[in-house]
């Protein structure tokens, strides 16, 4: 045979054609590229199908009437907003758990979808405010038709803005997006005097307060874990002492969080009741967790990887509870304006609060879960792994900080954003690690004591790493930081301008 046939007289050599291998490799690469490019198209197609179904459900539920078309369009806009809430906002609840590998991506998607839907349908409430956060006085709107146009403009502007933020990789507050949309549409419809500027001032203040509080609390808990558990000679003994207390704090805080936020439309206990129930949960959890942690830690090596096992189950529980509370609260961002449009279109009245029909709530719940599955994985990876590196201890601090900050802010009456809090906690963990890595003498002494000597006969310790070199190490990606902060600050004005433009366009056309 000729050499060009790539055949060998040696029977031990496999006969093959290099050109065929190259062609097969190219075909495999092309198929992989086609599948990769088809995924976004498939997701968009399913999303469009869901919006069409939302319109069909609305048409069947309300039947023929004068404002039939407005209601169908509003139902599709509400579904579009719900999809975007699922794609952008839910990542804050499960992202740290995924980034720390306490949950797989698929496991997180399933847990979040189930508990978001449960929160929306069980505790989402049957009554909702027509004007988000009370920033516009409904009595100043001249008639129901203008009110319907204003709500449609606000809903469309908020949904488009959250969609754009998801596209550029910026987790933003859907509540602030709706607030900005309502404010812009209200100004376009009535004028600047319609806006409650005191309320808007509180919302603007929360842009700074929310992430700062979240970051500070997360950093404090991480500092406690590093000082009292991670950089101890006997990590397992330290974990047996402190981990039950930390998890009990989480159990108590999340119980209070659900009472304050998750079940507030089902049962709204007073502060004393919340404190008593939270305290009882803390004591009971400590009693139950001490033997469980001791048993779980038996046989574990004295290393950081062993500590991560102890925090995995609490992280899974926190992801579920955060998702439930989020579904109970933020489903109103999608269905609130839709319910307001439906009420005004059917009755011709402008009410401050309206009842939400079950089919409207189902659109919101299904839309959030579907948006999470179709478009959420990218944002989950960003929050969980791309801003800063996560492990179970850091993710635990983020989840605990999110719940504590929401409770604290609610007690002060501050209209904080759960998105700003959670992402601020992620930033807080990352920036604290930067500082601690550079400045902590405890960490430096611990690391040096673990380094082996080059010469067994020489007890001299290796030279410490130069502080200048340590400062070069950045543990938070600055590109993500600047993009997210910028998106936060322009969310309200951007959606306000967009809503005003949409309202004026509707007024001109209709």
Query: Residue 263: its pLDDT value, please?
Result: 66
E-only strand ranges, 447-487:
none
> Is residue 38 domain-resident?
no
Q: What is the mean pLDDT of the chain?
A: 83
Q: What percent of the chain has pLDDT over 90?
A: 46
Q: Look at residue 2 and tell me if it is in a domain.
A: no
Do the domain assignments include residue 40?
no
At residue 196, the pLDDT reads 84
- pLDDT score for 34: 44
Q: Is residue 8 part of a domain?
A: no
| Low-confidence residues of the chain: pLDDT under 70 | 1-39, 125-133, 262-266, 413-415, 450-473
In a domain, 33, yes or no: no
- Report which of 246, 245, 226 is spatially closest to residue 235, judged by C-alpha positions: 226
pLDDT of residue 6: 47
The confidence score (pLDDT) of residue 200 equals 85
Helix (H) or strand (E) holding 494: helix 478-509
Q: What is residue 322's predicted lDDT score, i.e. its pLDDT?
A: 87
Q: Give the span between the Cα atoms of 97 and 361, in whole angstroms.
A: 28
Q: Residue 191, SS3?
A: coil
In a domain, 454, yes or no: no
What is the model's pLDDT at position 3? 47
Number of structural domains the chain divides into: 1
Residue 128 has φ and ψ, to the nearest 5°, of -140, 150
Backbone phi, psi, residue 130, to 5°: -75, -25
First to last CA, the chain: 81
3-class SS of residue 482: helix
Amino acid 24: pLDDT: 54
Produce one character per residue of 365-389: b if its CB has 16 or more CB atoms within 10 Å, e if not.
Answer: bbbbbbbbbbbbbebbbbbbbbbbb
Q: What is the structure's pLDDT at 325?
A: 81
Q: What pLDDT, on a 0 to 100 scale, did the predictor assign at position 127?
A: 58
pLDDT in tens, 463-474: 444 444 444 568
Six token digits for residue 464: 């410490």
CA distance 180 to 207: 13
Measured between alpha carbons, how far is 322 from 94 in angstroms, rounded to an integer? 8
Query: 461's torsion region: left (phi>0), alpha (psi -120 to 50) or beta?
Result: beta
**CA pair distance 92, 380, nearest whole angstrom:** 7
Beta carbons of 481 and 427 less than 8 angstroms apart: yes
Provide the domain limits for residue 65: 48-447+465-509
pLDDT digits (tens, 9 = 90+) for 377-411: 989 999 998 999 999 999 999 999 988 888 887 77
18, part of any domain: no
Other CB atoms within a 10 A radius of the CB of residue 67 amount to 19
Flag whether 14 is in a domain.
no
For residue 127, the number of C-alpha atoms closer than 13 Å in the C-beta half-sphere is 7
């Amino acid at each position: 045979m000729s050499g060009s046939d790539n055949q060998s007289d040696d029977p031990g050599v496999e006969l093959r054609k290099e050109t065929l291998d190259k062609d097969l490799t190219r075909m495999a690469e092309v198929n992989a590229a086609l599948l990769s490019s088809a995924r976004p198209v498939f997701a968009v197609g399913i999303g469009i199908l869901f919006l069409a179904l939302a319109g069909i459900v609305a048409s069947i539920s309300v039947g023929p009437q004068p404002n039939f078309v407005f209601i169908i369009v509003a139902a599709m806009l509400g579904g579009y907003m719900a999809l975007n809430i699922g794609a952008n906002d839910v990542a804050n609840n499960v992202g740290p758990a995924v980034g720390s590998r306490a949950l797989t991506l698929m496991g997180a998607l399933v847990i979040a979808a189930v508990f978001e839907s449960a929160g929306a349908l069980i505790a989402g409430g049957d009554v909702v405010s027509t004007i988000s956060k009370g920033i516009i006085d409904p009595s100043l709107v001249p008639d129901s038709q203008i009110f319907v146009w204003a709500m449609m403009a606000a809903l469309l502007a908020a949904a488009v803005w959250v969609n754009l933020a998801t596209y550029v990789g910026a987790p933003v507050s859907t509540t602030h997006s709706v607030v900005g949309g309502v404010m812009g549409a209200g100004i376009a419809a009535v004028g600047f005097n319609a806006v409650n500027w005191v309320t808007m001032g509180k919302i603007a203040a929360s842009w700074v307060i929310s992430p700062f509080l979240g970051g500070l609390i997360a950093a404090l808990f991480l500092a406690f874990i590093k000082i009292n558990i991670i950089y101890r000679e006997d990590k397992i003994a330290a974990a047996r002492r402190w981990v039950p207390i930390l998890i009990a704090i989480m159990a108590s805080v999340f119980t209070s969080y659900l009472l304050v936020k998750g079940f507030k439309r089902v049962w709204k206990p007073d502060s004393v009741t919340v404190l008593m129930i939270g305290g009882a949960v803390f004591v009971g959890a400590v009693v139950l967790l001490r033997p469980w942690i001791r048993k779980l830690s038996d046989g574990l090596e004295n290393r950081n990887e062993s500590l991560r096992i102890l925090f995995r189950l609490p992280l899974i529980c926190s992801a579920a509870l955060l998702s439930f509370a989020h579904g109970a609260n933020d489903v109103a961002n999608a269905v609130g304006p839709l319910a307001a449009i439906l009420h005004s279109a059917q009755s011709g009245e402008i009410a401050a609060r309206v009842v939400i029909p079950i089919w409207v709530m189902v659109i919101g719940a299904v839309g959030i879960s579907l948006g999470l599955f179709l478009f959420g994985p990218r944002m989950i990876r960003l929050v969980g792994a791309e801003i800063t590196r996560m492990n179970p201890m850091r993710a635990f601090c983020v989840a605990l900080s999110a719940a504590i900050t929401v409770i604290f802010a609610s007690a002060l009456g501050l209209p904080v954003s759960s998105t700003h809090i959670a992402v601020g906690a992620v930033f807080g963990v990352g920036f604290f690690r930067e500082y601690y890595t550079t400045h902590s003498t405890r960490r430096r002494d611990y690391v040096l004591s673990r380094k082996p000597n080059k010469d067994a006969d020489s007890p001299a310790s290796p030279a410490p790493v130069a502080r200048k070199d340590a400062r070069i190490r950045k543990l938070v990606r600055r590109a993500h930081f600047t993009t997210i902060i910028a998106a936060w600050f322009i969310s309200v004005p951007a959606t306000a301008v967009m809503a005003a433009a949409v309202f004026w366009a509707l007024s001109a056309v209709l």
